[in-house]
Structure 1
């Protein structure tokens, strides 16, 4: 495992500042600090051991070369001695000494420990002493030969001393054995004692300087190298390992671990970090990163590899299995949520994966990253574990067919199937959908429920709460097999089965084939299954459109759920082209501003024109059912028509309720029409009189004066044959309520109105007063009704009209709308 930067010489994040304007700022200080640190004593307790071990690696080859040169010099000494007259020790003894020196030199590159290195060095110097002594025996002036050699041995031995201890022990042993030799070589030589002491003083001081300088150079080199390695392996902002060092350390750890050792990777991503930088500045973002890094270091031990992977992402490699890692990640998640940010609390998402023997570290990290993505897509601020190895195969296996004689747990063919899941069971409930025109059940939406052993239901907030070891896609897929098996048992053979499906499951590779196989295995034709695409993230619109084609090839029908909420918009509809559109329940209660008229009829008309059938959800009252019928909705669903249940309820009471809604509408249509006509009658009469007066030559203001005094009159106008206004309009009583928000389009004089129905219908029926449907006036911004009549004048045929304010709650709208 790579050594964590925080365990020795921790870096100060404040030192890492950029270079600006050519001045030496934080980055320059780093270099200065890095170089000057070579002259400072480190506080790391393991520094001396690491330094000597590193010196051993570097110095073995240098020492071996030095020893080889010494062997060559010794052999030269032996050869030179052969040309000098006088008795001499046998050549074989001197060559044997040279052989010992060569063997010691050859052993040096293979040394693994510092004490063996020191022992070989001491032995080598002593052997050199022995060799020198053997060669000078018999010479008339041995001191002249011995003294230079003994001085050079001491001074040239600097590469042989790895540590100060080696130097002191080796030097003491060398002098302790060499001094008697020097004194006994020629005891009658004048001044031999003085020469020996001079030899010791000069050689020892020179050797100490040589060794001290060499040792100091090696130490500074090591400090610089150690610092550079640390900088190369450290993220400057947080002091954690960087991605490269983390990867190298993790790979080394996993490659040397035993097969039964367990490791887990944890991927961490700070939530909404970009918004933190964008709103409050990068300085605060850097502070948050530093605080998270300090928290991770505080909660981890030496056995954990911790790294800042990049940006706002961190990674950990720790010993232990998946469950312990998930628990640890949950602890970290809670701890991070205690860090305050200006707009609340900091949160993070976690992905956890367990190491599988033989896989590469990057594969492990990729699985943790996939789990992290699920955590982010599930709402963030949560922990998700990796998927099981065979999750897809295990989550979508066909359950027992209703035609089977044997069922798990001794079930009868009509008894619903329950699927074990975590510490409870999953079961299916079905809610009916009715065709309003046919007044009958045509389908059933399968809804997932959780049951305890005693049959009590689990609250949806608990059932669908994100869990570390299962994703919502896993739950989605297993629910499909469960619902199809139960639907085959209880749903009538001529009814649809509506299956909710997440976009991520919908676009999954090969899932269309799997789902078709499951449907056929339980005896359901895919043509009886309506896939209800939920309003959720996961999968682009293009991917959903391509997937829809694959499902249609098997015969499935496609529905889009909750149209008008979240991701479910018109672009989604027009690209997917569903067979049915389920309107969000709130749309049935939505009204237009001002007039408080329902918008459902127009929305249904729009979807019908786009070639889609309409299902309205959330029908809970009789008034909402009547509105659905009146809006020409195709299918309806809601508590008024049937609550979700494990069994199918008889449809007859609901059929009678729907039939009653039709009767109410039929009875109210005549009354509604009468109210509308009675409200408009005075304005029609007044418009007829104004048109006659204007045709007879009465000035515009005088002709329209009686009409302008009526309560709902906004303005009176005359349009020529091209639909342009003739003269000035006459403002009525209701014009005083108009605001100035639409001031740029408030003046109608330069506009053409021949495209409006109230103009076209009047031209088609000259002399007849026509009434428009309510519309939003471009001039006043209010719901209005126009009453018009085409009359001949001396300037040609004109359309005379009045615009009425129809925004009051008491005013009836035409029954045809």
Structure 2
């Protein structure tokens, strides 16, 4: 904020403005007239030389001509009316002095001087800008003339003729010419001012119109002193069209007038206020951005007090500060962009311009990458941002298979002067002047400067990046320069695209290709939350996918089995490595290992900190998780086998009965009484059901909620693994992995065996209900 208020000179009076305007008009005419007079004087000097009577030395008279010419040359640079009048007075005195010197020594000097005594005041009369100049110049001129006339003795009739010409003709004619021309110029100026005022004013509100506003603003920019501040406010009345459409243009016009009054009341006289057109207004003020935002907020509050038939008026505001070298239209465009953001954010608010493009390699940020003095390398880099410092905290990521640290996610923190951390809710709170993108780019520079100091030489650095920053033109090249300035290579940096607005999928896909050309790896953060979806992944094609921490705790409906293994398998098949976040307990770490996750991150493995913690204890935790899984896998397999073995054994007995010629109901009679049996069935060699199915205790019509597909005899099942595997191993009872039954909508297991019956090769099977909690699942699941 500016410590010294801007001083604004008082507005000139109408008389001063008129005289200044007259100076602009009179200057060309005066130059021509006075230059012509110099030529005339030189002609008289030449004529005097032809007389042959001794005269004052020529050098004196030519000196007068030189002085007259210099006075003429001074007129174009004359800025004030007083100086212009002084030049006129001196010009007349030098001219009359030169004429006296030229007439000296002749027999009848009045014959040489009388025409000049009459003509000079008359010709000069229209050129005087003010009556004061006219009276001063003529008084001095006639004082010299009278002294000249009184110093010579002339016949009475000559004196009478001379005084008649000078007093009765020359002086009155000069006065008539001067005041007549002065009145004409004044009336012309008043008419010109009135027309200019009408052309520059919006007739409805009395404010400047767009053309006058732009012209005035450009003039102010041209005269802007070094270091001076200038800001523009652009505002638009919210939902104004509905006011006109529903209540008529008279009501809309009254609303515009009321808004104009609010602006006039809030804005100082030396600021410019304009109605640009329709419901758009603009203000140009000699102040910095923060004060302009305060003024805009006062205007916004004032406008909300204006009533409209269906409530109160509101307006949206955009504010921008002039940057050195830019045009006024560029300033207005940036204010307009801020206004559009205010509209998109919900209207009735003030938004500031976006910060200028951030360049970490320019002052004052280049100090982050400056070489460290001896003994200071251990210190962390930080950068002043608003009223706190930006610092880096690093959270480790571990490769579960390698059981070691492979990378660190850089997290931005704010630090006060006393070392206390700024709460995130304060640090990232939206402000009218804040630019999330600038903070994002600043964080990259801080993290890279600190990574050079803190990270092991072979570790990845995960940099969070907003989508809007990621797709920004030229940022891939700029970030590459910043990475190398920090002493790193892009191959060691993984750009982690945050879950946020700010770029279409197509834009991010194209941007990802640009970053990969430089060597960066790409990761997508928080998959499974917000806008993330498979289409986004498949089009961006990240190298790594970071799963939202909630996914590690997500389970299937009913059985409460974790969905993480299937999701990891899907992403692996799509060619993407998987990072799971939010690992906070030993059980979650075990699940991550069992699900074949590639990398893990979370408080259990290491909290974010400015210094890297030793990894040995984490290595032991990961190794313990592998041991638990190895031990539990055999136990899990044994439990599962013990649960399904009775069904396999009885299915083989039923198959033997069918081969011996027993009917289905008799062959499946005992198996159909087993607790988890849904139904028993026979499929032909094309996978179609033969005959009816024999229901078991777990079969229920009410459970078959998917009515259109509830009848298995309408379907073909040879594509199912339990059919294919049975055909590949004829005579051996095959147990499938749990699957979701199309008929019942429940998790099921099929036990099948391929046998040769009289009708041909068949697959005999039983479907088991596996939806109850606590049932063992195959170890691979």
TM-score, normalized by length of structure 1?
0.65
Aligned mate of 2:233, from 266, 273, 292: 266
Aligned mate of 2:411, from 422, 427, 447: 447
Superimposed CA distance per residue, residues 221-241 of structure 1 (whole angstroms, 9 cap, x where no aligned partner): x9xxx9x999x976xxxx899
1:124 is aligned to none
Superimposed CA distance per residue, residues 320-372 of structure 1 (whole angstroms, 9 cap, x where no aligned partner): 4321111233445667889999xx99997643112458754432221113334
Counterparts of 1:281 and 1:767 in 2: how far apart (Å)?
Answer: 84
2:565 is aligned to 601
Q: What aligned pairs does 1:248-327 form with structure 2 within 5 A after superposition?
A: 248-257=211-220, 259=224, 263-268=230-235, 296-297=259-260, 299-301=262-264, 303=267, 305=273, 307=275, 316-317=283-284, 320-327=287-294
2:460 is aligned to 496
Is 1:351 the counterpart of 2:318 in the alignment?
A: yes
Q: Is 389-398 or 773-782 further displaced after alignment?
A: 389-398
Q: What aligned pairs does 1:567-582 form with structure 2 within 5 A after superposition?
A: 567-582=531-546
Unpaired segments ≥5 residues, structure 2: 1-172
| Residue 541 (structure 1) shift | 2.0
| Residue 652 (structure 1) shift | 0.4
Contact 1:595 1:807 (8 Å CA) reproduced: yes
Aligned mate of 2:697, from 707, 715, 733: 733
2:579 is aligned to 615
Aligned mate of 2:554, from 590, 598, 623: 590
Contact 2:654 2:668 (8 Å CA) reproduced: yes
Contact 2:217 2:284 (8 Å CA) reproduced: no
Q: Is 411-420 or 749-758 further displaced after alignment?
A: 411-420
Seen in structure 2, the aligned counterparts of structure 1 residues 116 and 240 have a Cα distance that, compared at 3 Å, is closer
| Residue 600 (structure 1) shift | 0.8
| Residue 609 (structure 1) shift | 1.2
Is 1:371 the counterpart of 2:338 in the alignment?
A: yes
Counterparts of 2:639 and 2:313 in 1: how far apart (Å)?
Answer: 61
2:683 is aligned to 719
1:405 is aligned to 373
Contact 1:738 1:780 (8 Å CA) reproduced: no
Aligned length, in residue pairs: 596
Superimposed CA distance per residue, residues 410-461 of structure 1 (whole angstroms, 9 cap, x where no aligned partner): x711111111111111111000000101111111111111000110000011
| Residue 793 (structure 1) shift | 1.3
Superimposed CA distance per residue, residues 649-701 of structure 1 (whole angstroms, 9 cap, x where no aligned partner): 00000000000101111111111111111221222223223222233222223
1:529 is aligned to 493
1:466 is aligned to 430
Seen in structure 2, the aligned counterparts of structure 1 residues 557 and 764 have a Cα distance that, compared at 3 Å, is same
Counterparts of 1:481 and 1:736 in 2: how far apart (Å)?
Answer: 64
Seen in structure 2, the aligned counterparts of structure 1 residues 349 and 641 have a Cα distance that, compared at 3 Å, is farther
Counterparts of 2:705 and 2:518 in 1: how far apart (Å)?
Answer: 54
Counterparts of 2:603 and 2:410 in 1: how far apart (Å)?
Answer: 15
Q: Is 589-598 or 288-297 further displaced after alignment?
A: 288-297
Counterparts of 2:299 and 2:704 in 1: how far apart (Å)?
Answer: 57
Contact 1:395 1:477 (8 Å CA) reproduced: no
| Residue 611 (structure 1) shift | 1.3
1:41 is aligned to none
Aligned mate of 1:764, from 728, 744, 757: 728
Counterparts of 1:340 and 1:782 in 2: how far apart (Å)?
Answer: 61
Contact 2:319 2:351 (8 Å CA) reproduced: yes
Counterparts of 1:592 and 1:624 in 2: how far apart (Å)?
Answer: 16
2:753 is aligned to 789
Counterparts of 1:263 and 1:491 in 2: how far apart (Å)?
Answer: 45
1:692 is aligned to 656
Seen in structure 2, the aligned counterparts of structure 1 residues 706 and 284 have a Cα distance that, compared at 3 Å, is farther
Counterparts of 1:809 and 1:338 in 2: how far apart (Å)?
Answer: 63
| Residue 540 (structure 1) shift | 2.2
SS in 1 for 2:714: coil
1:674 is aligned to 638
Superimposed CA distance per residue, residues 59-96 of structure 1 (whole angstroms, 9 cap, x where no aligned partner): xxxxxxxxxxxxxxxxxxxxxxxxxxxxxxxxxxxxxx
Counterparts of 1:115 and 1:497 in 2: how far apart (Å)?
Answer: 72
Is 1:702 the counterpart of 2:676 in the alignment?
A: no
| Residue 291 (structure 1) shift | 11
Counterparts of 1:579 and 1:733 in 2: how far apart (Å)?
Answer: 49
| Residue 397 (structure 1) shift | 4.4
1:801 is aligned to 765
Seen in structure 2, the aligned counterparts of structure 1 residues 515 and 665 have a Cα distance that, compared at 3 Å, is same
Counterparts of 2:724 and 2:406 in 1: how far apart (Å)?
Answer: 42
TM-score, normalized by length of structure 2?
0.68
Q: Is 604-613 or 636-645 further displaced after alignment?
A: 604-613
| Residue 405 (structure 1) shift | 2.5
| Residue 814 (structure 1) shift | 0.8
SS in 2 for 1:749: helix
1:419 is aligned to 383
Q: CA RMSD in A?
A: 4.3
SS in 1 for 2:669: helix
Is 1:813 the counterpart of 2:777 in the alignment?
A: yes
Counterparts of 1:288 and 1:595 in 2: how far apart (Å)?
Answer: 65
Q: What aligned pairs does 1:10-21 form with structure 2 within 5 A after superposition?
A: none
Counterparts of 2:244 and 2:571 in 1: how far apart (Å)?
Answer: 46
Contact 2:675 2:697 (8 Å CA) reproduced: yes
Contact 2:368 2:383 (8 Å CA) reproduced: no
2:606 is aligned to 642
Contact 2:303 2:314 (8 Å CA) reproduced: yes
Superimposed CA distance per residue, residues 263-299 of structure 1 (whole angstroms, 9 cap, x where no aligned partner): 533345789x79x99xx99859999999996885564
Seen in structure 2, the aligned counterparts of structure 1 residues 373 and 692 have a Cα distance that, compared at 3 Å, is farther
Contact 1:333 1:348 (8 Å CA) reproduced: yes
Counterparts of 1:735 and 1:334 in 2: how far apart (Å)?
Answer: 69
Contact 2:584 2:603 (8 Å CA) reproduced: yes
Superimposed CA distance per residue, residues 163-207 of structure 1 (whole angstroms, 9 cap, x where no aligned partner): xxxxxxxxxxxxxxxxxxxxxxxxxxxxxxxxxxxxxxxxxxxxx
| Residue 811 (structure 1) shift | 1.1
Counterparts of 1:683 and 1:705 in 2: how far apart (Å)?
Answer: 13
Seen in structure 2, the aligned counterparts of structure 1 residues 657 and 310 have a Cα distance that, compared at 3 Å, is farther
| Residue 318 (structure 1) shift | 5.1
| Residue 642 (structure 1) shift | 0.2
Superimposed CA distance per residue, residues 358-409 of structure 1 (whole angstroms, 9 cap, x where no aligned partner): 7544322211133345667889876442245564465894444586336xxx
